[in-house]
Amino acid sequence: MTGGPATPAPSIVPAPRQAPDALVEYLLRLGDDRLVLGHRLSEWCGHGPILEEDIALSNVALDLLGQATMFLRLAGQVEGRGRDEDALAYFREVVDFRNCQLVELPNGDFGFTIARQFLFDVHAVVVLDALSRSGNAELAAIAAKSLKEAKYHVRHSGEWVLKLGDGTAESHQRIQRAFDALWRFTPELFAADVVDAAMLAAGVGPDLAALQAVWDGLVRDVVERATLSLPHAAPPIAGRSGRQGSHTEALGHLLAEMQIVARSHPGAKW
Amino acid sequence: MTGGPATPAPSIVPAPRQAPDALVEYLLRLGDDRLVLGHRLSEWCGHGPILEEDIALSNVALDLLGQATMFLRLAGQVEGRGRDEDALAYFREVVDFRNCQLVELPNGDFGFTIARQFLFDVHAVVVLDALSRSGNAELAAIAAKSLKEAKYHVRHSGEWVLKLGDGTAESHQRIQRAFDALWRFTPELFAADVVDAAMLAAGVGPDLAALQAVWDGLVRDVVERATLSLPHAAPPIAGRSGRQGSHTEALGHLLAEMQIVARSHPGAKW
């Protein structure tokens, strides 16, 4: 835990606006990662080459959408402006989304989907494990529930990484290409900004630098056992991150599709 | 059980080809209904106006795809020509599909999806309940497992029928219109042909005429409580049915989308 900001000095002037805003941002990041990735994975439903795997990926998608619902609902409650999880999911614009860019990338082939999923799943396990001990009891409860699912997800995606990497020449080549293409999106997962610093200082969020080392070790262990390779270091992040609303073109298309029904019938209760 | 064919007379010349073929056809019907409807429902995933309902419908879709997998796997085993559930799902043509036309109809609005689902779910419960006592032990086991899920599904769709029918003027009007449009597709669910007769005679399948009366009573009870109405009688079936491979144009589009990945990489193991 070295390197993080020190515990804030006690003050007789509390800053109530600052803490809730950072918490809302932080919850949106957790929710949006899962909402967007859940939607991406659901695009596989009924399109995979193997029924069983189709069902497995769709189950992961549903878990992620369920987690997104919980995180976004809490974000709406903390925000206190009357937006529920549906308003947050269906009536925000691209620039208001706080997901990392990794999760919004188009599915590509099955190997690409699996590599992206594995990188995210390991991130989810280490982050949710830390958050299950968060000083915010509601967040800790959601994290603990989600962690159980994430542990199953990473076992699934990790086994596929091993199978594809150590499989046929084509499967090996395809998933290696996927990791090569995805690697530059991974630094964003651990790039701490003022929101993360505020969460760490408040005892709500984890020390991302410490988690990144754990993540890196877990990822490399599986990738090497799969006879695949990764660059030694992650590249620096170029420009603004998805955490601040900077997204690839792909997110706009995804949201257009995801939001069309709700926006066509605003306020519809049926 | 009156009206069904009598038990066949014992013969010293068994007809092994006849019985397995009818059983394969019968299993394909059970599997294809669920494969096609599961795919239709999965189209809602990430497109509904309410996150929770999106997830609920997707869960039903996954249950149906899981049931389809079991029925199609058994169909392939009984057929004995080396086709597994994936080969049956992804490498048959439209005319080889044995689902009823009801399940292949495009989703329409949410009310249409719910009305279609409710009509199918009641059918599933009465058929699976009978099949859980089938003389074919493997079929009985799959039916018993599926029945538990179907009972949950019909509770869900039935509650929505009540909510929409007894809801706003618009929701009432929309779901009434859905039932009006869907009604002509319901006789096919219970139209017994030679395959059903063979299954009944062999102690494998139910007496469809008896089940239709139960289905009709269950459907009308909920529809009337929802302040909706149904025609007094179902129209006769016009022309060939989906059970013999006659389908609406919509199935072709659905299969094209569902089968594209598997057909682009035939035999791919990754």
Determine, for residues A47 and B265 on separate chains, whether the beta-carbon distance falls below 8 Å. no
Q: Which two tokens stand for residue A130?
A: 């830390």
pTM, full prediction: 0.84
The predicted pLDDT at position A54 comes to 85
* Chain B residues closer than 8 Å to A38 by CB: 46
With contact defined as beta carbons under 8 Å apart, do A107 and A40 qualify? Answer: yes
What's the CA angle centered on B88, arms B84 and B94, to 5 degrees? 175
In tens, the pLDDT along B228-257 reads: 999 877 666 666 799 999 999 999 999 988
For tokens 């994430």, the residue is A150
What pLDDT is stored for residue A1 in this prediction?
A: 38
Higher pLDDT, B194 or A233: B194
As a whole number, the mean pLDDT across chain A is 89
Q: Inter-chain contact A268–B49, Cβ cutoff 8 Å?
A: yes
User: Which stretches of chain B sit within 8 Å of chain A by CB?
Assistant: 38-39, 42-43, 45-52, 54-55, 58-59, 61-62, 65-66, 68-69, 72, 85-86, 89-90, 110-111, 163-164, 167-168, 170-171, 174, 257-258, 260-262, 265, 268-270
Structure tokens at A205: 């969020």
Select the residue of A47, A49, A258 nearest B46 (Cβ to Cβ). A258
CA B150, CA B47: separation in Å to the nearest integer?
23
Q: For residues B213 and B268, which has the higher predicted lDDT (pLDDT)? A: B213
Instruction: Judge whether residue A70 has pLDDT over 50.
Output: yes
Scanning the structure block, which residue is given the tokens 């009709």?
B216
The reply to whether residue A167 touches residue B269, judged by beta carbons under 8 angstroms, is: yes
> How many other CB atoms are found less than 10 A from the CB of residue A17?
8
A–B CB contacts, 8 A cutoff, strictly below: 114
pLDDT (tens digit, 9 = 90+) per residue, B151-186? 999 999 999 999 999 999 999 999 999 999 999 999
A270 with B111: Cβ contact below 8 A? yes
Statement: residue B16 has pLDDT above 50: no
Please give the mean pLDDT across all residues of chain B: 89
Nearest-neighbour CA in chain A from B5: distance (Å)? 37
Domain boundaries, chain A: 20-231+238-248
Q: Of B83, B78, B86, B76, nearest to B35 (Cα)?
A: B86
Q: Are B262 and A167 in contact (CB < 8 Å)?
A: no
Query: What pLDDT is stored for residue A45 in this prediction?
Result: 77
Residue B70 predicted with pLDDT over 90: yes
pLDDT given for residue B267 in this prediction: 63
Percent over 70 (pLDDT), chain B:
89
Diameter of chain A measured on Cα atoms:
65
* Contact state of B270 with A110 under an 8 Å Cβ cutoff: yes
How close does chain B come to A184, measured CA to CA in Å?
25
Q: How far apart are CA B270 and CA B261, in angstroms?
A: 12
pLDDT band of residue B6 (cuts 50, 70, 90) is very low
Query: Which pLDDT value is given to residue B257?
Result: 86
Check if the beta carbon of residue B204 is closer than 8 Å to that of residue B134.
Answer: yes
Identify the closest residue of chain A to B90 by CA–CA distance: A49
Do B51 and A68 count as a contact with CB atoms less than 8 A apart? yes
> How far B120 CA lies from chain A's nearest CA (Å)?
20
Average pLDDT for residues B138-152, to the nearest whole number? 98
Whether residue A262 and residue B49 make contact (CB cut-off 8 A), yes or no, is: yes
**What integer pLDDT is reported at residue B50 of this predicted model?**
83
B69 contact residues in A (CB cutoff 8 A): 51-52, 55
Q: State how far the Cα of B216 lies from the Cα of B118, in Å rounded to an integer.
A: 12
At A150-174, the pLDDT tens digits run 999 999 999 999 999 999 999 999 9
Interchain proximity A85–B42, CB inside 8 Å: no
**What CA–CA distance (Å, rounded) separates B110 from B41?**
11
A110 close to B270: Cβ distance less than 8 angstroms: yes
Are B62 and A55 inside 8 Å of each other by CB? yes
- What does residue B167 show for φ and ψ, rounded to 5 degrees? -100, -125
pLDDT at A267: 63
| Alpha-carbon distance B119 to nearest alpha carbon in chain A (angstroms) | 19
SS3 call for B53:
helix
pLDDT of residue A2: 41
The string of pLDDT tens digits covering residues A120-144 is 999 999 999 999 999 999 999 999 9
Do B42 and A42 lie within an 8 Å CB cutoff? yes
Which of A50, A170, A174 has the highest number of chain B CBs within 10 A, making it the mutation to test binding with B? A50
Min mean pLDDT across A51-55, A198-202, B134-138, B197-201 is at A51-55
Residue of A nearest to B59 (CA): A62
Over the Cα atoms of chain A, what is R_g?
19
Cα-Cα-Cα-Cα torsion A104, A105, A106, A109, nearest 10 degrees, comes to -130
Chain A environment of B54 (Cβ under 8 Å): 65
Minimum distance, in Å, between the CA of residue B183 and any CA atom of chain A: 21
d(CA A36, CA B270): 25
Say how far apart CA B29 and CA B76 lie, in whole Å. 13
Most confident of A67-76, B13-22, B253-262: A67-76
Residue in chain B closest to A162 (alpha carbons) equals: B270
Domain formed by A20-231+238-248, architecture: Up-down Bundle (1.20)
Cα of B43 to nearest chain A Cα, Å: 8
pLDDT tens-place string over residues B28-49: 999 999 999 999 998 887 777 7
Arithmetic mean of pLDDT, B195-199: 96
Nearest to A92 by CA among A104, A84, A103: A84
* Listed residue (A149, A100, A157, A101) closest to A129, CA to CA: A149
